[in-house]
Structure 1
């Protein structure tokens, strides 16, 4: 009896061939591949100005002058309020004489009158040899001492009504005494900041302050008025402010500003090198900031980056960017790694 296995194998193979020939063709998906429409910019490494940004306000600075009483007096009232801009010689406050100052002035005037009478008496005795030249010299010296004491009191305004006037042009920063009281000599009435002494004070983090040096130029934006003023850095604190935990930086405005005005500050602190891109190009997730670059076939590739600087419109990046590929600038949130992108305006 002959074996049947070869014949059976031929039949199976033939049946499989017929099935493959008669089966319906496979169904192909008609769904389009995922895509996103984006705009792009070139990836060009550039050296750009380093901008250090901060915020603060206009303060009086260290050159504030205290206007004090030369002699005891009664403060009857102020002619200014904090923030008032004054010219040199402008009235600041009105004083009335204090009772003790009036008494001291009267005593000094009496001493001068007595000294004059005493000298005159000695002088009349001298021709009759009832007084000596030494007596006359002593009487003269006593009179001169009394006259000097009176002149000193009058120079301080003791015992006289007085108008206190601004020693220099500037801004009144504070009023320090209460009207109506009798005040001793040396009492501070108010503080006056010369216009040239106004400063912009801001706080920076230690990493920001490390790039800032005295002499750096800056731009102040006056937040209340919206204008800008040129400025320069005049001091950088060497330690943290214990209240803010920041480094205090003082800038001198190069145009008139208002005491207490809030400001935003943009310090021009040298240069840095990186890839400038629009802020919209930079995305972030748990792994940090990243962008998408498009290769020659417009396939998106994720590139992790470090943001060296971020301004109002542009960020400067460091990272392994491919200069031959473009950077997705708008529409980046639609992209995923490996997705094919369509460029805005392409084919239109």
Structure 2
């Protein structure tokens, strides 16, 4: 409450003028009383102000810092023995896929003898190419052998007669040498004709497209009446022995923990069937874009394993001792994976980590944590590094 004291100065001036008229003593006495009244009023206003304020300066209430800091749930994960398990996905494929195409001259396809899904043996005819022209060429080569053989027989007979006459002196030794060379050339022409016939027969045999090994026919890309040549590409593909594999894509860090011979469980997409596989090869290179490598896992034949399909795999890896956190505690950005921990001053600190295997129990932290840190479990995305918080242990929060 404020008290205001107003003094009408115009009235005071009139009183002064009257005092001057009445006399100096009377005027002095009135001014003295007036100042006493003003002093009393001012003192009263000051006393009233002090009473209302309680006599002390009012200080605004300051809440304790711990009450204003946001509460976050934290957990010290500890470190336990974790049986290594790597989960990945990949593509099913034939372990050894054999592409089959035209080996010989090619031509018009007369017949196709197999369908995808058929089992074939080594050397079995898959398709036949028309050989009407090549058959005539084979006959001509056979006739050339007979011609060459007749010339060789004649040259041999001439040489034999000359040898009988040379003893009587009718034929010189030079004639004998000439007839011998003629005989040898004729014999050589017979051998050439026979070789040409064998070559022709081999080329004709290549007109049959045959399976290079026993296995399962995967694809067929040719039809009767089609004209094919060595440039026609793959006409059939065969999985040798029907063996399959999974090309599992695994991160470069996890790939190091997978050993050749490791056992895995494969589940094709869209089915509940599971198959046991064995890692028989690891890729020696890492993809520069995805930072992943390939683990090739051998599988036996089963109709549910279709090359080109997707499947998931769980591989056993080395046993490690490491902390394990729920997915909500792990964050990531362009700098990699990290967690927020709360230090001794209740300040949020960013801690970079490397993520290991993932399971229903949580995510294994391969490196970056000892296990005794207070890790923020939830709402880490709303915190900033250096922020002061009020940590609440997971058990107390619940």
TM-score with structure 2 length normalisation? 0.54
Shift of 1:197: 5.9
Q: Report what 1:151 is aligned to.
A: 198
Gaps of 5+ in 2: 1-76, 164-175, 342-349, 378-390
Q: Report what 2:43 is aligned to.
A: none
Q: Is 1:309 paired with 2:364?
A: no
SS at match of 2:225: coil
Q: Report what 1:57 is aligned to.
A: 91
Q: Is 1:94 paired with 2:162?
A: no
Q: Distance in 2 between matches of 1:196 and 1:339?
A: 54
Q: Is the contact between residue 73 and residue 185 of structure 1 (CA under 8 Å) also seen in structure 2?
A: no
1:75 to 1:248, Cα distance in 2 relative to 1, 3 A:
farther
Q: Distance in 2 between matches of 1:92 and 1:152?
A: 22
Q: Which moved more, 1:261-270 or 1:163-172?
A: 163-172
Q: Report what 2:153 is aligned to.
A: 120
1:308 to 1:201, Cα distance in 2 relative to 1, 3 A:
closer
1:157 to 1:313, Cα distance in 2 relative to 1, 3 A:
farther
The CA deviation string for residues 230-267 of structure 1, in whole angstroms up to 9 with x for no partner, is 2214022413166xx35241313242244233211222
Q: Is 1:80 paired with 2:90?
A: no
Q: Distance in 2 between matches of 1:148 and 1:56?
A: 52
Q: Report what 2:315 is aligned to.
A: 267
Q: Report what 2:59 is aligned to.
A: none
Shift of 1:49: 2.3
The CA deviation string for residues 112-163 of structure 1, in whole angstroms up to 9 with x for no partner, is 12212222333443444398233222211111110111012213325x9x65
Report the structure, 1 or 2, having the larger helix content.
2
Q: Distance in 1 between matches of 2:145 and 2:83?
A: 73
| Higher gyration radius (CA) | 2
SS at match of 2:130: strand
Q: Distance in 1 between matches of 2:218 and 2:396?
A: 61
Aligned counterpart for 1:104 among listed residues 97, 122, 137:
137
1:195 to 1:248, Cα distance in 2 relative to 1, 3 A:
farther
Q: Is the contact between residue 220 and residue 230 of structure 1 (CA under 8 Å) also seen in structure 2?
A: yes
For residues 1-348 of structure 1, the aligned pairs below 5 Å read: 45-61=79-95, 64-97=98-131, 99=133, 101-129=134-162, 132-157=179-204, 163-175=208-220, 177=222, 179-184=224-229, 189-195=235-241, 198-225=244-271, 226-240=273-287, 245-256=290-301, 257-275=305-323, 308-316=356-364, 337=392
SS at match of 2:357: strand
1:166 to 1:258, Cα distance in 2 relative to 1, 3 A:
same
1:265 to 1:155, Cα distance in 2 relative to 1, 3 A:
same
Q: Is the contact between residue 243 and residue 300 of structure 2 (CA under 8 Å) also seen in structure 1?
A: no
The CA deviation string for residues 293-341 of structure 1, in whole angstroms up to 9 with x for no partner, is xxxxxxxxxxx9976432145544685767xxxxx9xxxxxxx936877
Report the structure, 1 or 2, having the larger strand content.
1
Q: Which moved more, 1:86-95 or 1:231-240?
A: 86-95
1:261 to 1:87, Cα distance in 2 relative to 1, 3 A:
farther
Shift of 1:184: 4.2
SS at match of 2:392: coil
Q: Distance in 2 between matches of 1:196 and 1:223?
A: 20
Shift of 1:208: 3.5
Q: Distance in 2 between matches of 1:175 and 1:89?
A: 17
1:197 to 1:64, Cα distance in 2 relative to 1, 3 A:
farther
Q: Is the contact between residue 81 and residue 320 of structure 2 (CA under 8 Å) also seen in structure 1?
A: yes
Q: Distance in 1 between matches of 2:292 and 2:329?
A: 30
SS at match of 1:202: strand
Gaps of 5+ in 1: 1-42, 292-303, 323-327, 329-335, 344-348
Q: Distance in 2 between matches of 1:258 and 1:180?
A: 30
Alignment length, in residue pairs? 275
Q: Is the contact between residue 234 and residue 252 of structure 1 (CA under 8 Å) also seen in structure 2?
A: yes
